[in-house]
């Protein structure tokens, strides 16, 4: 009788082995099914709505140059025009003279009846401000005014006004009061004391 080199498992052992193999195979298929997306599922990506692009009108100059049609920033906003000027260097030039010279052909004019700016206009023009630029017109006006004044633009009337800051408006020069007399009356002259002749001689 033939004897196999290894013992043959019993029927019970074979059934247990088949049962374990079935459990392992079924768990692997369930994991794969859970991880893999369904075949008929479609992936939808939300796209932002496309903005309407307005074409820029251009005109051809020469053979290759294309120039955009429209006004530049300095023409739309006159305070942004770039200036580079040398003010007349007179010895008695004032800030008011420089402001009026700067506003020539700029489209603006000093505000009429600007009484508060009279103090600024009467100040002598510093030598450092004889040449202004290249800078914008608004920056040039702020340079002439200094930090003690605000530049206000009336676009409706194309006027340029200067108003003092809160610190400048509050700083006023106190008037000098005349000396008071012996009786406390302001401005009363003090009586002269008589000195004996003997004491007056050395």
Q: pLDDT tier at 132 (50, 70, 90 boundaries)?
A: very high
Q: Which residues pair with 110 in a beta bridge?
A: 160
Residue 189: pLDDT over 50: no
Average pLDDT value over all residues in the chain: 77
pLDDT at 192 over 50: no
- In the predicted model, is pLDDT for residue 163 greater than 80? yes
Q: Are 99 and 110 in contact (CB under 8 A)?
A: yes
Q: How confident is the model at residue 58 (pLDDT cuts 50, 70, 90)?
A: confident
* Helices marked H in 36-111: 73-76, 95-102
User: Which spans in 37-136 are helix H?
Assistant: 73-76, 95-102, 118-121
Q: Give the global pTM.
A: 0.55
Give kind and range of the element (H or E) at residue 170. Answer: helix 166-170
* DSSP state at residue 94: B
Q: Is residue 134 reached through a cis peptide bond, with omega within 30 degrees of 0 on the bond before it?
A: yes
pLDDT in tens, 21-57: 777 676 655 555 455 555 565 666 666 676 777 788 8
Judge whether residue 153 has pLDDT over 70.
Answer: yes
Provide the residue ranges of all domains of the chain, joining segments of one domain with +.
73-170
Architecture of domain 73-170 in this structure: 3-Layer(bab) Sandwich (3.55)
């Amino acid at each position: 009788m033939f004897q196999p080199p290894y013992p043959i498992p019993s029927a019970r052992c074979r059934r247990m082995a088949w049962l374990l193999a079935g459990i392992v195979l079924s768990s692997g298929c369930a994991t794969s099914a859970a991880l893999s997306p369904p075949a008929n599922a479609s992936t939808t990506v939300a796209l932002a709505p496309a903005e309407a692009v307005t074409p820029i009108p251009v005109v051809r100059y020469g053979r290759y140059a294309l120039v955009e049609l429209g006004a530049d920033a300095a023409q739309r906003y006159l305070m942004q025009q770039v200036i580079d000027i040398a003010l007349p260097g007179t010895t008695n030039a004032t800030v008011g003279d420089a402001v009026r010279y700067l506003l020539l052909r700029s489209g603006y004019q000093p505000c009429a009846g600007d009484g508060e700016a009279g103090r600024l206009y009467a100040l002598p023009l510093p030598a450092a401000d004889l040449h202004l630029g290249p800078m914008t017109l608004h920056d040039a006006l702020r340079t002439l005014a200094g930090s003690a004044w605000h530049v206000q633009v009336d676009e409706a009337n194309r006027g340029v006004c200067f108003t003092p800051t809160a610190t400048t408006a509050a700083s006023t020069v106190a008037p000098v009061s005349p000396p008071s007399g012996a009786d406390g009356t302001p401005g009363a002259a003090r009586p002269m004391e008589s000195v004996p002749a003997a004491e007056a001689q050395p």
